[in-house]
Structure 1
Amino acid sequence: MELVKQARARVARLDLSAAQAAVADGQAHAAHALWNLLHEYFTFRQGRFASLKECDTAIRQARHEIDWLARLPAQAAQAVLKTYRQAWANFFNPDHPAQRPTFKGRFHTRMAVDVPQARDLRIQRINRRWGEANLPKVGRVRFRWTKDLPGVTRGGPQGRITGARLVKDAFGWSIVFRTETLVPALQQAHPGPAVGIDRGVNVALALSDGTTREHKPWLSRGEREHLRRLEKKSARQRATRPPGRPASHRLARTYAQIGRVRAIAKRRALDWQHQTTTELADTFSLIVVEDLKIPNMVRSAKGTIEAPGRNVAQKAGLNRSISGEAWGRGVTLMEYKSADRGGNVVKVPAAGTSQTCHRCGHRDPAARQGIRFACTNPDCGWVGHADINAAINVENAAGTAVSGRGDLAVRRSVKRQPPRAA
């Protein structure tokens, strides 16, 4: 049986002492400061960008001259340089959506530290729930053992760990293991049917087979009220702060409490997305979605002083709802899960899918009224769920795909299918 390499990530919660957490915080701040220093050195040259060799020499010199920069391990510093150079490569790639690299803010940047070399980790399982690993300049740390790691567990999956990354969120530090697992190569395509999916706010996912995938609010009523009170509290604390002064310890503590509540909502959303996308990838061979320009959809409606926007508060609420659904992340999950199972994810143009009747093809913006779609063509008159109608149009538009992922890891064209009736 032919085996192929499959790159995946394994996330585990770290159990750090206060001293170890302080060291990790210092490394993360040093890494983000190194990025800013590197960006200044790389861009503010006399008419040219600095070369890779010049950047590497500058980093080595700075680590000897700046005490706090030496907190960052040498391999982690080289990883910052590699990531920075890759950011410029993505920016100059016309097919990549990356923006021009810029400076990173202290309070709006995710704290992270790379551990590029797996041999430094020396991972060991100590019992059923806990494992241990070495972190440079942090020491021996414990992490929650939730899934077997390739090359570590006896009798576990074949493969190896290629590196790791420390990431901090509202609940503390986690370690993300980069793994390379050997899995059997796919011998045939997915045997399941095709489906079109319409993503929305009122109905999370509407499928062309007439079913929907919905979820409860990410936060309970009590948690939403708790978040509202914390946000009002932070507003009062900000009002008493003199302009230009840093945040007080009380305000920072309130921000931390708000971050934990929002992190709970994000965890629940991610868990629901993982379960739902796994079920869809197991069931369907072809998943067709709209090619939505999400950054354009969540832009503010404030406008300018000369041309102020309209319905700004309503648009802000809609933007929050769209961001809370994380449509882009859901498609990313479906893409790699479908590819693992021999399926395919295709994106099609989104124009007109919610205003067109799937039965007769008549297009009228007035036909959609909330979640109800009533065709205005007197010869048709179809009435039904608006999101289901849009999902059928999405599936029927598969012949005009703008991109495709999967199908035994090889992109393939999709033939136009005849219109489906509900």
Structure 2
Amino acid sequence: MLTGRRYLLAFTDDQVAYAEQVGAVCRAVWNTALEQRREYRRRGGFIGYVEQARQMAEAKKDPHCAWLADAPSHTLQQTLRDLERACKTHGTWKVRWRSKSRTAPSFRFPDPHHIAVRRLNRRWGEVRLPKFGPVRFRWTRPLGGTIRNATVSRSGGRWHISFCVEDGVSEATPNGKPPVGVDRGVAVAVATSDGDMWDQEFVTPGEAVRLRRLQQQLSRSLRVHGRNRRSGRRDSVRAALARLNARIRDRRADFAARTAVRLVRNHGTVVVEDLRIRNMTASAKGTIEQPGRNVRQKAGLNRAILAKGWAGFLLRLQHVARYHGAQIVKVNPAYTSQTCNACTHVARESRESQAVFRCVACRHQDNADVNAAKNILAAGLAVTGRGDLAVGRSVKRQPPERLTA
């Protein structure tokens, strides 16, 4: 199977400057190619990767576009391929621009023959990249397979390299272990139908104070300098914010990985809600004609949802399930938090608070998140067909009757 290996790079000052330059060139190629595709669409035409790659090769010969030759040619071609895939998946008009201030630089080397990796000692390894030369990185884990490609990116002021590796491991067969329902929440990140509840604070109290102070400093620097966004004070505050947010993201990713592994090791099927997180975290500001209601409360809820990392947890769950023989089932999330698991009565009044669920019909009482997880599990068993979760077919399930003429 294909998997990823991410390492911290130890760029020299010259390599950092060159990496920034390559990232800027790839960003310019992406934005130019996207605008070209949109202009063709406006005129009723179409242009694809092959034609854009040919035109880019011709543009390198132009003295005014000589800066294109500064970046490795394979990274520019891969940028056009990524744009082609994004336009086919989301549509030309929904693909976003790459901003200089908001988009972290990233570029990929698609040819494994141009990537050479060797281990220097217990802590350090070395990779040779086109036009970069030898680059050292922290050897935190073995590669464990054959390299397919490599991506260089910047996160939190530090540069990383991610190898796509073919580990030679085939997808595991279903393990036949008992199923479990998982409810993702705001107060508690993960609650299961077995009664387990896992949560973690990703921001310490001191970091929360520092985060608010840095955001205030960033706001003041914007007001003081106006349209001059390249001020030294603003850049230093943004760098400090990036480092702090990267530390928080790393904690969130670590929690998601550990929790996902616990679930797939002990269960054969993990049932989760098919949540549309992007719609759930949309702004409630509205328009001038129809202004939104409870905008500040909705903004706080959006931040709380995004802080728990629901999407990242599901992605990690799907990744590790391949190695442990677990199945991930998504179910409709409608009324899972308002339904009594004991008598299936649906009522909003049954959920007295965030943590307490007391059915108004049968007076069944349980933790609200655990009750929701049990409803999610029941919906998942219905989706999989009367709970037939093992490798073989359940003997309790009767074959369908054949119609006779």
Same fold, TM-score > 0.5, yes or no = yes
Contact 1:358 1:389 in 2 (8 A): yes
1:82 aligns with 2:64: no
The alignment's TM-score, normalised by the length of structure 2, stands at 0.90
Deviates more, 1:64-73 or 1:318-327: 64-73
Shift of 1:330: 0.8
Shift of 1:399: 4.3
1:394 aligns with 2:394: no
RMSD: 2.2
> Distance in 2 between the 1:225 and 1:91 partners?
39
Structure 1: which amino acid aligns with 2:176? P
Structure 1: which amino acid aligns with 2:147? I
Contact 1:357 1:375 in 2 (8 A): yes
Q: Could you say if the C-alpha distance between residues 401 and 249 of structure 1 is closer, same or farther in structure 2, counting changes exceeding 3 Å?
A: farther
Deviates more, 1:339-348 or 1:104-113: 104-113
Question: Identity, % of aligned pairs?
Answer: 35
SS of 1:20's equivalent in the other structure is: helix
1:41-80 to structure 2, matched below 5 A, reads 41-45=36-40, 46-65=43-62, 66-80=65-79
Provide the residue aligned with 1:156 in structure 2. Answer: none
> Distance in 1 between the 2:10 and 2:289 partners?
54
SS of 1:306's equivalent in the other structure is: coil
> Which of 159, 174, 190 is the aligned partner of 1:189?
174
Contact 1:348 1:400 in 2 (8 A): no
- Output one character per residue of 1:145-181: Cα deviation in whole Å (capped at 9) or x when no partner: 111123xxxxxxxx41111010111131100011101
Structure 2: which amino acid aligns with 1:191? G
SS of 1:182's equivalent in the other structure is: coil
Where do 5+ consecutive residues of structure 1 fail to align? 1-5, 93-97, 151-158, 417-422
Provide the residue aligned with 2:279 in structure 1. Answer: 296
Alignment size in residue pairs? 386
- Output one character per residue of 1:13-33: Cα deviation in whole Å (capped at 9) or x when no partner: 000111110001100010010
Deviates more, 1:76-85 or 1:39-48: 39-48
> Distance in 1 between the 2:50 and 2:29 partners?
16
Contact 1:88 1:101 in 2 (8 A): yes
> Distance in 1 between the 2:279 and 2:49 partners?
35
> Distance in 1 between the 2:319 and 2:14 partners?
39
Contact 2:157 2:239 in 1 (8 A): no
> Which of 343, 365, 372 is the aligned partner of 2:348?
365
Structure 2: which amino acid aligns with 1:42? R
The alignment's TM-score, normalised by the length of structure 1, stands at 0.87
> Distance in 1 between the 2:244 and 2:230 partners?
20
> Distance in 1 between the 2:49 and 2:304 partners?
43
1:203-218 to structure 2, matched below 5 A, reads 203-215=188-200, 217-218=201-202
> Distance in 2 between the 1:300 and 1:400 partners?
34
- Output one character per residue of 1:276-308: Cα deviation in whole Å (capped at 9) or x when no partner: 101111111010011111111101111222322
Provide the residue aligned with 1:419 in structure 2. Answer: none
Provide the residue aligned with 2:110 in structure 1. Answer: 116
- Output one character per residue of 1:349-368: Cα deviation in whole Å (capped at 9) or x when no partner: 00010001000011100110
> Distance in 2 between the 1:41 and 1:171 partners?
32
> Distance in 2 between the 1:133 and 1:295 partners?
37
> Distance in 2 between the 1:110 and 1:84 partners?
16
Deviates more, 1:357-366 or 1:38-47: 38-47
Structure 1: which amino acid aligns with 2:216? K
Where do 5+ consecutive residues of structure 2 fail to align? 398-405
Shift of 1:236: 1.5
> Distance in 2 between the 1:341 and 1:236 partners?
51
Structure 1: which amino acid aligns with 2:221? Q
Structure 2: which amino acid aligns with 1:56? A
1:101 aligns with 2:95: yes
Provide the residue aligned with 2:402 in structure 1. Answer: none
Structure 2: which amino acid aligns with 1:113? F
SS of 1:50's equivalent in the other structure is: coil
Shift of 1:99: 7.3
Shift of 1:71: 1.6
Contact 2:171 2:323 in 1 (8 A): no
1:219 aligns with 2:216: no
Shift of 1:400: 5.0
> Distance in 1 between the 2:170 and 2:279 partners?
41
> Distance in 1 between the 2:204 and 2:309 partners?
19
Contact 2:211 2:244 in 1 (8 A): yes
Shift of 1:311: 1.8
- Output one character per residue of 1:265-285: Cα deviation in whole Å (capped at 9) or x when no partner: 110010111111011111110
Q: Could you say if the C-alpha distance between residues 128 and 202 of structure 1 is closer, same or farther in structure 2, counting changes exceeding 3 Å?
A: same
Structure 2: which amino acid aligns with 1:114? R
